[in-house]
Every structure is written in structure tokens, then in C-alpha cells.
Structure 1
């Protein structure tokens, strides 16, 4: 077994939430009085910490607007958006296979700790809170935002593993660049925020189009 630890990004990798993020961000921009940017502009910053994401899309945003956008976006995402959100098909089977192999599972996400904990408690896999699947998690507001590798470094240190014993799975260039900075292998998922060409340019070990492809790749190569 090559990979003792499999680290997942959250949005766009395990959870089909890209549409909800875009909708929530556009609603927030309209409410705050910022330019409502095209869908692609929001998709391109998914994976960054929220402050970094907002400053990337709206470089002239001031501190008051940043604070208001953060609050309004969070409210829209949790309560107001009508865009459905759930795990991608096959996630329960993937988790069962990986844990059955004796692998450890972790999360490295651009979400806030509060946001991730809410989803870990609310979403279920096989009738149980998904939080039970993971031995460790890191969020952007408690370490450095992707693509800086600090959150991966902290996970490896916590679990006493090397980068060569871990695999990063993500749907954005930020995930893949973060892994590459540590010499960690990665797999790109094409069903999330970034286009295939962007992902392949980061040099992942594989590009998978769905969760079942990922499961089969890990069985064969991991």
C-alpha cells in the first residue's frame, strides 16, 4: 500500500457544491453593491480561503466590504441559496474501500472551520455523520490558505507521516500546487471548479472524471 493517508479537498471534490458557491457569492455581491462577476470568475477562486478569494475577484474591496461580504456570503450559502448540494455519487463506497484497506482519511479545505464543522455534522455517509470518516482536518482560517502547503504539513506532522505516504485529491490547481510544493502525489478531479487543461498543467499523477474512477485508480496504483 503506497498511500497510508488520502487527503481530500472538500468543495468540488467530495461535495458537488460549486453551483451553490457561485450562486451564494453572486447574491452577496449584489447585496453589498459589488460587481456581479461571471460564474467562471467565482469558480476560479474556489479552494482559496474566503478573504483571499474575495480580494482576488474584487481587488479594490475595502475592509468594511470584505467583512460584510464574508457575513452575507455565509448566510446565503447556509440558508438562502436554493441550489442543491450533496456528495458526489460514489463517495460512500470510496470511503468504505479506503478505510477497509486500512488507509487514513483527512480533509484540507479552503472552507472556514465553522463552515466545515457544520457540514461534517449535517452530511451523512451510510446513515452516520461524515465527520466519523476523517482522522484530521485543516481549514483555511486556522492555517495558511492554499496553495501554500502549510495545511498539508500540519496534517502530516499530526499523523506522523511523510509526504510520500500521502495522496492529495482535489479539483483545483490550488490543491495540486499545494501537494507539489511538498513532493506529494496528487490526483485531479475534473467534476469540480477548474478545467482539465488547468489541472493537467499542475502535473497530477492522474485526472479522474468521477469518484469511481478515483477509487479504481487508487486500487491499481495506490
Structure 2
């Protein structure tokens, strides 16, 4: 493959996909079924992004001996109803399609279990656009051949791009909505662009060291394109057909199955 654009590694929830209550409702259902207290919405939203087991114990206060049950109940609820609640953020489909058409290598690195991440992306009809999809093990723990932790997951995505596709990845960039994404990128020596539409509290991405924070898919496209050889017009030699024009028809969120 001839590489003329920098590779991009995307986080999933809060970056590409708005869970639209699918995650927080699942967590609330698990806590309720176990007879545990359910935090308010702000706390539930703060649990989106970090590793689920950490969120359940560190934020929701689930006792260690009940953690496996909480994850099992959550997973069943999420697979049954949560995925169907999710929507792509405005402009994301057009953004990814424009990258794929231009030959830009793109990947996903998420702390969501890898199999479930693939199901979510397939549900929205965008899985085939990615060179590789990397996530955690089914139980979010360590398993043979499956990375654990955001830094290791990002490293696995970079290794896939480099090893399987022969791509140069030193100039790759991460795109995410939480501090864990910035830290995972930094651990692998790459920059992270933060997105302002996700679940980070005010100031989190700046404090974590995101190189830039964007607030629309058009701004994200422009920021990434500036990193390419040739600058912002590298993917669109004809400035009369920029990504911004195609984004307008994608501003209504869709689950990809309408």
C-alpha cells in the first residue's frame, strides 16, 4: 500500500459512537439487580471511557466479590438493548468514508471488549472501513494475545498497521474523548487529538495533554489533514469538493440501519 496520509487511531465510545444511554442504562440495570446504589447521571457518564471493571469498583463502589456478576448483567443488557440505542456522532460516517476513499489508514483502539467493539461497528455499517479493530479481552482482563489497558491496546493497533499492512506509523495520531486516550497515545509516542463532544469533564483533555481539541467532524478532518504531506488539501486536490460539504447531510444521528 502506498501511504500518503498519516494513520489515525480512533477511540470508540464518546468519539465515533454516542452510546445514547446504552452504557449508563446497562450499568444502572446491573447495580439495581444487585441491590446496589445507582449514581446520578453525571457519575454514570463519567464511567464511560475507562475500563468497565475499574469504573464499577472505583466510581460506583461495586464490591470486588460482586464485580463479575455486575459485568455479566451489564453485558447481557448492553448486547440486548444498549447497542441498539447507540448512534454515530454527526458527520462521523462521512469522515470515515472520506478517509477510506483517500486511502488513509484508520484503526480503532478501545477498552471495550474487542468482540463487542466489532459488533457495534458492524451494527453501524462502518467496521469494514478500518484496517484493524483492537480492544480488550472478553472479560476485560489479560488473555493470551489480547492486550490489556489503553496503552497496550493502542500499541496493538499500531503493530497491526505496521506489521500487517507495512505502514509507517511514527506520525500516526490518536483521536479520543478521555484522558485515557491521551495517555495511551503518549505511552506509544504519538499525539492525541481530543474531541469535545464526548464524555470528558471540562478541562480533562487539556490537562491530559491533548495537542488540540476539536468540536466538529469537519474540524477534526481539517486538523488531521494538516498533518499530511501537502497540508490540508492533501485528500481533496480540488478545493471545490471539501469534506465540509458532504458533512452537512450527515448531521442527523443515525444508527446505520435506517
TM-score computed with the length of structure 2 as normaliser: 0.75
SS at match of 2:56: helix
Corresponding residue to 1:212 among 196, 218, 225 = 218
CA separation in 1, counterparts of 2:62 and 2:201? 27
Runs of 5+ consecutive residues of structure 1 not aligned to the other structure: 125-129
CA separation in 2, counterparts of 1:81 and 1:155? 26
Corresponding residue to 1:139 among 135, 138, 143 = 135
Aligned-pair distance for 1:2? 8.1
Alignment of 1:84-95 (within 5 A): 84-95=85-96
Distance 1:204 1:18, change over 3 A: farther
CA separation in 2, counterparts of 1:71 and 1:82? 16
Residue aligning to 1:57: 59
Distance 1:41 1:199, change over 3 A: same
Aligned-pair distance for 1:78? 2.5
Corresponding residue to 1:34 among 36, 45, 61 = 36
Distance 1:82 1:163, change over 3 A: closer
Aligned-pair distance for 1:8? 0.4
Residue aligning to 1:157: 159
Distance 1:184 1:18, change over 3 A: farther
Residue aligning to 2:10: 8
Q: Based on CA coordinates, which of the two structures has the bigger radius of gyration?
A: 2
Checking the alignment, whether the CA contact within 8 Å between 2:56 and 2:62 is kept in structure 1 is: no
Which shows bigger deviation, 150-159 or 160-169?
160-169
Distance 1:2 1:42, change over 3 A: farther
Aligned-pair distance for 1:7? 0.4
Alignment of 1:66-105 (within 5 A): 66-80=67-81, 84-105=85-106
Aligned-pair distance for 1:17? 0.8
CA separation in 2, counterparts of 1:206 and 1:151? 22
Residue aligning to 2:245: none
Aligned-pair distance for 1:82? 10
Checking the alignment, whether the CA contact within 8 Å between 2:57 and 2:63 is kept in structure 1 is: yes
2:175 equivalent to 1:169: yes
Per-residue CA shift, 1:31-83, capped at 9, x if unaligned?
Answer: 111221122223223222222222222445123x2121111111222324598
Runs of 5+ consecutive residues of structure 2 not aligned to the other structure: 138-145, 229-258
CA RMSD of aligned residues (A): 2.2
CA separation in 1, counterparts of 2:181 and 2:20? 15
Checking the alignment, whether the CA contact within 8 Å between 2:23 and 2:78 is kept in structure 1 is: yes
Aligned-pair distance for 1:198? 0.6
Aligned-pair distance for 1:117? 2.3
